[in-house]
């Protein structure tokens, strides 16, 4: 059984858009409601969801309360009976784990198999570098640390526990022995998180050509910068050196998002990077479509270094529920959540849901 079999039993005029009640769910529901879809919030545990009452334009029609997100696996037949399409976001994947999420027998918008590539650092790097992207250098032996590096624990989310070291001594002082981690060049520059959208079923706009013919189009809907605590505010109370002497280390935990625009002269490169990533994704695992984000740092030489890809909607799109300076030039008031709903609406209308869901 696969997505085409599940969709065969669907009333595609009555789809229900479901996602976990967190992250970008307000935006996803808001967009889905604009296109006339039914909506369902999924929540595990007893977390209070009354905040939805405060946002009637985004409030989901129903709430599915579970003991654990893993229960979704057993509930698949019931969800299919309600014509549910799941929109993945970072929190849902984190709560369920990549393996269980991939196993849900319910149509998921986007290519769920991208998770194999995204959650495996080696595969992700090979994919992006082959796509023409420059990534921060990796240091395999900590004794080789001679310039600032950022140390990232595997599986840590939202930058938790990451630290900066400028030499082996600083690395030794901070490392949690036995915890798997990657040591990466700390790229000096400004951060831009680029929010792309690739539709496989749209023909106009910025068109993508694959080796075997057209792939659809590519949009860049918005850009944000993450507000990270406490690194982004440390300079207000002293130099990093002074703070470290006082036992205060910089941390990278995301607390919010700030809207950004980028120098217009960098846009050709922005599209070139997005195009390369999508084209290469079709060669490696059948394609990356829907929303995705390249997390970049622009150096003083105006070069992009990409330290991560998120292969789905990112919370950095949340400042743009009413549209962004870029999406305004695509369609007034277009959010990423609404763009997802449009893609599903078009696919449902022309009988190609199996092309946009897996």
Residues lying near ligand ATP in the complex (CB under 6 A): 136, 150, 152, 156-159, 162, 184-187, 191, 226, 228, 252, 295, 297, 307-308, 310
Our CB check for ligand ATP shows the closer of 12 and 102 to be 102
Our CB check for ligand ATP shows the closer of 181 and 226 to be 226
**What angle, rounded to 10 degrees, do the helices at 25-34 and 336-350 form?**
40
Q: Which two structure tokens, joined as six digits, stand for 303?
A: 């070069």
Q: Which two structure tokens, joined as six digits, stand for 337?
A: 């959540």
How many angstroms separate the CA atoms of 19 and 23, rounded? 10
Our CB check for ligand ATP shows the closer of 122 and 268 to be 122
Our CB check for ligand ATP shows the closer of 34 and 195 to be 195
Instruction: Give the CB-nearest residue to ligand ATP.
Output: 159
Give the shortest CB-98-to-ligand ATP separation in angstroms.
Answer: 12
- The label of the residue with tokens 């695992």 reads 285
Our CB check for ligand ATP shows the closer of 37 and 192 to be 192
Q: Which two structure tokens, joined as six digits, stand for 61?
A: 């029609």
The angle at the Cα of 266, spanning 261 to 267, to the nearest 5 degrees, equals 75
Give the shortest CB-148-to-ligand ATP separation in angstroms.
Answer: 8
Our CB check for ligand ATP shows the closer of 95 and 162 to be 162
Give the shortest CB-164-to-ligand ATP separation in angstroms.
Answer: 8
Give the shortest CB-199-to-ligand ATP separation in angstroms.
Answer: 24
Give the shortest CB-220-to-ligand ATP separation in angstroms.
Answer: 18
Give the shortest CB-186-to-ligand ATP separation in angstroms.
Answer: 4
- Please report, to the nearest 10 degrees, the dihedral formed by the alpha carbons of residues 90, 114, 78, 21 taken in order: 10
Give the shortest CB-316-to-ligand ATP separation in angstroms.
Answer: 9
Our CB check for ligand ATP shows the closer of 35 and 288 to be 288
Our CB check for ligand ATP shows the closer of 40 and 270 to be 270
Give the shortest CB-46-to-ligand ATP separation in angstroms.
Answer: 26
């Amino acid at each position: 059984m696969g997505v085409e079999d599940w969709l065969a039993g669907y009333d595609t005029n009555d789809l229900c858009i479901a996602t976990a009640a967190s992250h970008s769910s307000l935006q996803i529901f808001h967009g889905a409601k604009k296109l006339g879809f039914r909506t369902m919030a999924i929540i595990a545990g007893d977390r209070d969801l009354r905040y939805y009452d405060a946002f009637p334009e985004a409030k989901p029609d129903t709430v599915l309360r579970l003991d654990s997100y893993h229960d979704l696996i057993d509930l698949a037949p019931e969800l299919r009976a309600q014509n549910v399409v799941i929109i993945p976001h970072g929190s849902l994947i984190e709560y369920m784990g990549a393996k269980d999420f991939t196993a849900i027998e319910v149509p998921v918008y986007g290519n769920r198999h991208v998770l194999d590539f995204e959650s495996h650092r080696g595969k992700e790097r090979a994919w992006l570098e082959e796509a023409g992207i420059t990534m921060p250098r990796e240091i395999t032996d900590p004794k080789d640390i001679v310039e600032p590096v950022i140390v990232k624990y595997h599986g840590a989310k939202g930058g938790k526990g990451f630290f900066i070291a400028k030499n082996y001594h600083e690395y030794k002082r901070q490392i949690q022995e036995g915890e798997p981690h990657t040591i990466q060049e700390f790229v000096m520059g400004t951060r831009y998180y680029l929010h792309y959208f690739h539709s496989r079923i749209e023909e106009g706009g910025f068109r993508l050509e694959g080796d075997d013919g057209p792939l659809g189009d590519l949009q860049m809907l918005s850009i944000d910068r993450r507000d990270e605590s406490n690194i982004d505010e440390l300079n207000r109370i002293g130099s990093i050196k002074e703070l470290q002497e006082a036992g205060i280390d910089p941390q990278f935990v995301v607390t919010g998002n700030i809207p950004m625009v980028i120098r217009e002269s960098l846009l050709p490169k922005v599209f070139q990077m997005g195009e390369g990533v999508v084209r290469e994704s079709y060669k490696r695992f059948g394609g990356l479509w829907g929303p995705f984000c390249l997390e970049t740092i622009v150096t003083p030489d105006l070069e992009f270094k990409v330290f991560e890809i998120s292969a789905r909607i990112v919370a950095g799109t949340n400042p743009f529920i009413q549209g962004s300076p870029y999406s305004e030039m695509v369609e007034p008031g277009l959010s990423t959540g609404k763009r997802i709903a449009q893609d599903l609406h078009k696919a449902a209308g022309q009988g190609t849901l199996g092309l946009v869901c897996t």
